[in-house]
Every structure is written in structure tokens, then in C-alpha cells.
Chain A
Amino acid sequence: MSGAPRTALAAGCWLCHDCALLCRVPATTGHGARCPRCGAALHPRKPRSLERTWALVIAASLCYLPANLLPIMTVTSLGKAQSDTIMSGVTYLLHHGMWPLAAIIFIASVFVPVLKLGILVLLLVSVGRGSRWRPVERTRLYRITEAIGRWSMVDIFVVTILVALVRLGSLATIEAQAGAVFFGAVVVLTMLAAESFDPRLIWDRSEETRR
């Protein structure tokens, strides 16, 4: 042990997740540590953060394909049924000159999930390899991921509202399709993945190698 401990972990202190009490944990003990105040299990970092995040990112990637290939909703208007995938909806809007709307849908539904998955994979790979490359920027990327995660739900909300509102019998009916389920799963899974990733891991490696 040399130099001033710059992190709580290095100082042998863990922070309780629930009541935020800083506890000193004996160095030999790994498991079974509990908060003396509220009794919550103590972990130095989010437990098995990389593994969980990997699992969720992989699951989200698996769901991303059907979410884009399957139709997300079917509009039945005067007996004429039309199923649309996300991309066909975007191209439809583009063809009809509504490019701002097309841009919103494209960014929220196609670009953002890909961006999130890409950032998470980048973080996971870099943390897994113990990279010391630009920790500040990587942390910023992580914050962006967390911030934009929920905006992808715009599509799901639109479909949900339309399905509930447009029930005009034979005149017009809108039904959600399998694609919407997968798309919802992508959004939820990426949010969970971002949640389970512990950004402190980015800094742990830089600290260790600095010592």
C-alpha cells in the first residue's frame, strides 16, 4: 500500500447501495458483507457487472434483427390492410415529404438503439481489456447512453396510442405486430444493460495501472 488511496475501494471502504453508509470492510472478506445500518448486502462494485451487461447487450442485439425485419403495426383501412416495418414507415414518410418526422423516427428507432449497443460494446470491450484509453470520454459516452435510452420508446408509445385510439371497426383499425414486441425488448434490454454497467470499472483499471 503506497500513496494516498484515491478511491474508497482502495481505502478498504465500500459504500452501501441502499443507505449510502460508507463501511470499512476487512480486506480478507469478499462475500457476505452487510451494511451495519440497514442490513443491505455490500458490494465494492456492481456485482458481475460486465457479465450481466454482456448478456443484456447480446440479448438486445438478438432482438434488434426481428424488431426491424418484422412489421411493427398493421393499418387496416377500408378493408385494405397494410403492414409496416420501422424502415418502411420511414421511407413512406420520406416519400410523402414529411422528412422531419421521418428523421425523428429514424433517429429514435434505428439510430439510437444501434448507437447504444455500439457504445455499450465499446465500453465492455475496453473495460474487459483493461484499457486506459480516454476514461473521461468513455464515461461521457456512458452518460449519453443512459440519458438517451428511454427516448427510443417513442415508437412503442406511438403504436400503443394508435392501437388504442384507432378502433373504427371496418373503417380503420390499427394492430400491433410482433416487431413492436421485439423493438420494445431491444429498448428495455439496452436500458437494463446500461443500468447494470458500472462506470467505476472504467476508472478502476486506470487507477490500478497508475499504482
Chain B
Amino acid sequence: MSEQPRPGDVAEAVIETRRRPSIVWLIPLVAALVGGFVAWRTYSERGPAITITLASAEGLEAGKTKVRYKNVEIGLVEEVRLAEDLSSVTAHARMVHGADRYLREGTRFWVVKARVSGGQVSGLGTLFSGAYIGMDPVLAGPSARDFRALDVPPVVTSEEPGRHFVLRSYRAGVVDVGSPVYFRKVQVGEVVESALDPSGDFATVRVFVHAPWDERVRAGTRFWNASGIDLSLSAEGVRMDTESVVSMLIGGLAFDTPVDGDAEPAAAEAVFPLYESFAATREEMYTLRTQYLLYFDQSVRGLVPGSPVEFRGIKIGQVRDVKLEVDSSGQHFRIPVVIEVEPERIGNIPGDAAARRAAMDALVARGLRAQLARGSLLTGQLLVALDIHEGAAPARIVWQEPYPEFPTIPTPLEEITERLTQLVKRIEKIPFDQIGADLRGSLAAAQAALTQAEKTMASTQALVGPDSAVNQELRRALVELTEASRSLGLAADQIEREPNSLLFGKGRK
């Protein structure tokens, strides 16, 4: 070690320890990458936050209640909070990534829970899983983040093909949301809304008719209330009508298009009147009505407003009103009956009012009269029958206000009754007592005459009996007469043979 340099002579080498970074640093690197990736994904998949205002938070739980569409989870309620004014509840929900597209102003939310309505039970699954918020997305319209939840689930979601129509009714009846809408007894739609108009004058019922049946709703389509049982007792007998058991229980609507012509299918949201019953739709088809006043003297028991007015059995109108009137002298009762005739029921009737009036006058001149007739023997309902009675007493329509008076004639039945009464009265006039007394006298005389005749007969018997003298004499006379006639015959023969013997007597031989 003698060559070992002394310190200070030679510079000391710098020993650089090049240490590569340890491979262990990969672990935090990987942890950072994975953590970063998870954080990024969680953040980037955060969908939009929305608020839903509800009337009540029943069934909602922060952090648990989901927002679902077609049963796919698309959001989670993160917070449920009372509104500042305590009037409602605000649910803050976080939607999934990409939900922005569905969050438009028309998008609807509602709470789905088990409920029984509209003839159907829905949301039974929520009994176990808890309520969730349903959504009906809309793809068009301005973007929105604040929504107000519906109180009841919508019957029809917006993507359902079909059309909405608005029905106006002066009484909504028992039509509830979800009630079925029938077309020829087949359910083709639902009631989606039933509300009283703000004016309070009428009720508005919104219905949805599914495609392709929405095409059947045309300009002339009539909607009617098919709720319950339509049980009518009229001159036509007992009639029961219902669409289905469901509509019987929960109500329903039906529609039909009477004249299925070339009318275009009605536009969505078109307004239609809603009739009370199927019969009403047929009544309402005739907009033109003429009212007449009829006076009857007889009983109108069984004639009620609504009773039919028929012409030879075809209904042309109905009775509007039946009253009782006493004339000014107080002597005489008569019954004014107002009838309503729908001239449109009669084909090729003149459209012009004056022409119609002239036609009616002409018909009355020919004998058109109104009379009461029995519609149904079972129910005793009466109807007003119009017919031409050729032999009727002349009459005419009194054109007056408010109703023109139409001539009437008594009912055939009534007529017969009247004639019979007259007959009975005449029969009553016959003096049966006197006739009896006379008859008794005549009989006594006859008795006497008969006794006399008997006596005469007896004496005659004695005169001409077989042992009577007359008889003997007669028999003898007859024998002698026979003898005489024979001699006469011989004489006649002699004369014939020898006519000269008459002059010369019997010949000599």
C-alpha cells in the first residue's frame, strides 16, 4: 500500500449512485390512474340535476326512490325537501348521463304507486319495491330542468300512436280518467282528462283514441256516454243497453260515425259534443225541429215527454210537453200536448220553411190528423200517431205563436167506445116494460083462441069420425057413385062401338 496516494494529492472520484426510481412507484401510479379513471367516469356520467315539484312526498325517499321510464332506471331522487311556502314538496333528482335529450318542457313526471282506477289495477310491483317516479319523455321543445309532477299518472304516454279529442258535455256523468272509449263495443281508447270548464258551464272530457281507430273519428262522429245500463221503458217496450260490464261499473264513452262518407278523419284536439246516451245522438242528428200544439180531450195516461210521434209507424219526432188546461169558462178541460217533429227524418222534404208550411197545409187538407195510439200493450205507453184520415172532418193548422195548433181526431178505440155508448143509450130508450105488458095480454088472448080451436076440433071429430052417420052415408053414396060410373062407362063403350045405337037402341042380332 506504499503507492497509495496521500489524501489531497489525487482528487477523490465522485461516486454517483445512479439509482433508477424503484418499480414500487408503479403502485401509486396505477392507483392514481384507476382512481382518476373512476372519478372521471363517475363525474362524466353524472346526468343533469332536475327538480320535481310534487303535492306530497308520499312514497318518496331521498337516495332510494328511482326515476324510471319503461322500467329502466334513469335517475335517482337525491333529496326531498319542503317548498319554502310549505305548499308543496320539491324532489331533487339526478338523472343518468344523456338524459338531457328527454328533459323538455313537455316532459311529464308522476309518482307510480299501487292504485286501482279506470277499471285496472296498476303498480302492484311498487308494493314491494316502493314507489318510483315515472316519466313520459318528450324529444322536442325547449330544454327544462324544473318540472311539476302530475297528480295522477297519465293514461296515455306521448309516444303512443293515436289522437286526442276534446268532448264537451253539459254533464260529464261518471266519466273518470281512464274510463274506456268504445267503438262498436271494442275498446279503442281512454279518457285522459275529465274536468269542469273554468266557466263552469260545461265539462270538458279529453279522450285518446289509439291508432288506427283514430281514423274512424270524422267530422260527423258522435260521442255518447255509455256509462252504466241504459234501461228504457218506452212505447217501444223495455230496452236494456250497455257497452260492457266494465263501462257498466266505471263508466265509459262510445263513439260512432253515422254517415261514413268521404269525411276526412278529424284533426287531433278536435272538439265534439258529448251526448247523454246513444239514443240522444240519434235525436240530435236532426237539427231542424218544428213544434206543434195538439189538444186532446181524452185521457193521456201513458203519454210522457219523450213519447214518440209516428207517421204510419215511423218515428218522426217526439212529445215535448204534456199539460192540463181549463178553458176560461171553467167548464171544459183539455190537454195541450206539444210535439216536436223533425222534418229531416222525412226524405226529400222541402228545405224552405214556407214551402214546408205549405206542404203541411196541403197534407192537413187531405186529412192528416194526429191521434193518440197505444204503443205497447205491456207498458200502456201512448204515442202520437199521424196519419191521413180520408173521411175526417175538415180542419186546418192554426199557425199561431208560440206553437201552431195541429188538428187532432179521437183515437179509434175512443171512437168505438163512443159509438157503443150511443148504442147503449138507444137501447136504454126501448120501453121494455110496456112491451112486456102488451105481450102478456096477447098471450092470454092466444090461450083463449087455442081452447076454442080445441073445441072445434072435437066437434069436427064427432061429425066426421069413422062411425058417424055422415061417414056411412058417404060410403054408401060412394058405392053407388062407383056403380053409376061403371054403367056410364059401359054406355060410353056401346056408343063408341055403335054410335047409331044412340038413336036406334041396341042392335038386333
Q: List residues of A whose CB falls within 8 A of some B CB.
A: 48, 51-52, 55-56, 58-60, 62-63, 65-66, 70, 78-80, 82, 178, 182, 185, 189, 196
List 26 A-B residue pairs with CB atoms under 8 Å apart, sorted by A's residue number: A48-B24, A51-B22, A51-B25, A52-B22, A52-B24, A55-B22, A55-B24, A55-B27, A56-B24, A56-B27, A58-B31, A59-B27, A59-B31, A62-B28, A62-B32, A65-B35, A66-B38, A78-B129, A79-B128, A79-B129, A80-B128, A80-B129, A82-B64, A182-B38, A185-B31, A196-B24
Q: Which residues of A contact B129 (CB under 8 A)?
A: 78-80
Write out, one digit per residue, whether chain B residues 118-131 have a CB within 8 A of any chain A CB (1) or not (0).
Answer: 00000001001110
Q: Which residues of A contact B27 (CB under 8 A)?
A: 55-56, 59, 189
Q: Which residues of A contact B21 (CB under 8 A)?
A: 51
Flag whether B30 is at the interface (Cβ < 8 A): yes
Q: Which residues of A contact B42 (CB under 8 A)?
A: 70
Write out, one digit per residue, whether chain B residues 264-299 have a CB within 8 A of any chain A CB (1) or not (0).
Answer: 000000000000000000000000000000000000
Interface residues of B, CB < 8 Å — how many?
Answer: 20
Cα distance, A179 to B32, chains bound together (Å): 15
Flag whether B363 is at the interface (Cβ < 8 A): no
Q: Which residue of chain A has its CB nearest to the CB of B128?
A: A78
Q: Which residues of B contact A182 (CB under 8 A)?
A: 35, 38
Asked if A48 and B38 sit within 8 Å, CB to CB, the answer is no
Q: Which residues of B contact A189 (CB under 8 A)?
A: 27, 31
Asked if A56 and B128 sit within 8 Å, CB to CB, the answer is no
Main secondary structure of the interface of A (DSSP, over half): helix
Q: Which residues of B112-149 are within 8 A (CB) of A?
A: 125, 128-130
Cα distance, A56 to B21, chains bound together (Å): 14
Flag whether B233 is at the interface (Cβ < 8 A): no
Asked if B38 and A55 sit within 8 Å, CB to CB, the answer is no
Residue A80 contacts which of B24, B34, B130 (CB distance < 8 angstroms)?
B130
Asked if A59 and B64 sit within 8 Å, CB to CB, the answer is no
Q: Which residue of chain A has its CB nearest to the CB of B30?
A: A59
User: How many contacting A-B pairs (Cβ < 8 A)?
Assistant: 55
CB B153 to nearest CB in A, in angstroms, measures 19
Q: Which residue of chain B has its CB nearest to the CB of A60?
A: B31
Main secondary structure of the interface of B (DSSP, over half): helix
Q: Which residues of B contact A78 (CB under 8 A)?
A: 128-129
Q: Which residue of chain A has its CB nearest to the CB of B41?
A: A178
Q: Which residues of A contact B125 (CB under 8 A)?
A: 79
Known: A48-B22, A79-B128, A80-B128. A55 touches B28 (CB 8 A): yes
Q: Which residues of B contact A178 (CB under 8 A)?
A: 38
Cα distance, A60 to B258, chains bound together (Å): 80
Further pairs besides A51-B24, A79-B125, A189-B27: 13, Cβ < 8 Å: A51-B22, A55-B28, A56-B28, A59-B27, A59-B28, A59-B30, A66-B35, A66-B39, A70-B42, A79-B128, A80-B64, A182-B38, A196-B24
Q: Which residues of A contact B19 (CB under 8 A)?
A: 48
Known: A79-B129, A80-B130. A63 touches B25 (CB 8 A): no
Cα distance, A178 to B32, chains bound together (Å): 15
Residue B28 contacts which of A58, A66, A80, A196 (CB distance < 8 angstroms)?
A58
Q: Which residues of B contact A60 (CB under 8 A)?
A: 31
Residue A70 contacts which of B24, B38, B64 (CB distance < 8 angstroms)?
B38
Cα distance, A56 to B30, chains bound together (Å): 11
CB A194 to nearest CB in B, in angstroms, measures 14
Residue of B19, B21, B31, B32 with most partner-chain A CB within 10 A: B31
Q: Which residues of B contact A55 (CB under 8 A)?
A: 22, 24-25, 27-28
Cα distance, A78 to B130, chains bound together (Å): 10
Q: Which residue of chain B has its CB nearest to the CB of A185?
A: B31
CB B10 to nearest CB in A, in angstroms, measures 17
Residue B35 contacts which of A52, A56, A63 (CB distance < 8 angstroms)?
A63
Q: Which residues of B contact A63 (CB under 8 A)?
A: 31, 34-35
Q: Which residues of A contact B128 (CB under 8 A)?
A: 78-80
Q: Which residue of chain B has its CB nearest to the CB of A56?
A: B27
Q: Which residue of chain A has its CB nearest to the CB of B76?
A: A83
Cα distance, A78 to B129, chains bound together (Å): 6
Q: Which residues of B62-81 are within 8 A (CB) of A?
A: 64
Cα distance, A185 to B42, chains bound together (Å): 19
Cα distance, A147 to B30, chains bound together (Å): 27
Cα distance, A60 to B34, chains bound together (Å): 12
Write out, one digit per residue, whether chain B residues 8-43 have a CB within 8 A of any chain A CB (1) or not (0).
Answer: 000000000001011011011011101100110010
A-B interface, 8 closest residue pairs, ranked by CB to CB distance from nearest: A59-B28, A59-B31, A79-B129, A58-B28, A78-B128, A62-B31, A52-B24, A59-B27
Q: Which residues of B contact A185 (CB under 8 A)?
A: 31
Cα distance, A70 to B39, chains bound together (Å): 10
Cα distance, A59 to B128, chains bound together (Å): 42
Cα distance, A80 to B68, chains bound together (Å): 13
Cα distance, A118 to B233, chains bound together (Å): 93
Q: Which residues of A contact B34 (CB under 8 A)?
A: 63
Q: Which residue of chain A has its CB nearest to the CB of B33?
A: A62
CB B320 to nearest CB in A, in angstroms, measures 62
Cα distance, A133 to B407, chains bound together (Å): 130
Write out, one digit per residue, whether chain B residues 165-190 have a CB within 8 A of any chain A CB (1) or not (0).
Answer: 00000000000000000000000000
Q: Which residues of B contact A82 (CB under 8 A)?
A: 64
Q: Which residues of B contact A62 (CB under 8 A)?
A: 28, 31-32, 35
Q: Which residue of chain A has its CB nearest to the CB of B126?
A: A79
Cα distance, A60 to B28, chains bound together (Å): 8
CB A106 to nearest CB in B, in angstroms, measures 20
CB B30 to nearest CB in A, in angstroms, measures 7
CB B96 to nearest CB in A, in angstroms, measures 15
CB B410 to nearest CB in A, in angstroms, measures 79
CB A120 to nearest CB in B, in angstroms, measures 13
Residue of B22, B24, B38 with most partner-chain A CB within 10 A: B24
Q: Which residue of chain A has its CB nearest to the CB of B125?
A: A79
Write out, one digit per residue, whether chain B residues 212-234 have a CB within 8 A of any chain A CB (1) or not (0).
Answer: 00000000000000000000000
Cα distance, A196 to B22, chains bound together (Å): 13
